[in-house]
Structure 1
């Protein structure tokens, strides 16, 4: 719990509590929404919602995970209100330079035509498959596998047990793997090549 002198105005006390966490909140909001202005709006909505609850915020021992949990719940509420899925390819969530660095990091012992063909198919296929996952599964995969969040951090923010995070992550990876195999399979299961 952060002790802040009460002689400061309510606005200054709120700013003092929230400001150290704004960058982290924005990055998390961006991961959830995938669009800069939506992430900014989400953070702003959370701050507006929390301002009247300053006394509760001052009583929180660990404000960063608590704020992220509030932000995540606000995102889920907004998503439910919209009643539609946000479909954006991963290429929009990660800047082009990072994608190039990631593709360059892949080892290629045989840079023959087959290897080049497979590499050119993988990125777009992964984008399509990830965008086909439900938002909660996509978010979980991005938080853990892309951003490097630990299981306990995700559990704290999503307000679920660590074991649930692990099992959901396992299921998400399995679904991702199956869908990616189907996407990259040259011959459909019917045995006929579609033209």
Structure 2
């Protein structure tokens, strides 16, 4: 595992790959270059985590199609879109699809480095979120199915009476389950229990 932060440059123009690669390496990054979106996608699942600089205008697959294919394959690397065309419509679509930023060529070094910092902040936040979700799922594994149902109801903002009605049990039984699940989750307040529930995806 490299200690340097890794940048994947996906661009069909060799001159751009070379110049961006040189700029980033001299700024202390590790760099991998890909001549097309299809070449990158072949290796994307096993690619080392990093930030992706993705050109919009490429033959075979354009940047938006590559971005969509990454999402479909569960490749959650942050994307910065590069384009030589001031196409605001494409920028909006890329940002809606989750791109961190959108840079027009030729881009300023400071602008690129700021976008890369934002991308790595997002990668770090995603790692922390995944760890929280995994921890929460482990904690919920200690609950009985009925306790989990009660927690899900609480996470959906339902009062005890409604949860009792939905589950076909008495409000008193809901209170017992609620006390038990809080004890098992080792939390003192409902808000702490809800944080765990939300991290594990309950209450949707």
Could you tell me the TM-score, scaled by structure 2's length? 0.28
The structure with more strand, counted as a fraction of residues: 2
Higher relative contact order (CA 8 A, sep 6+): 1
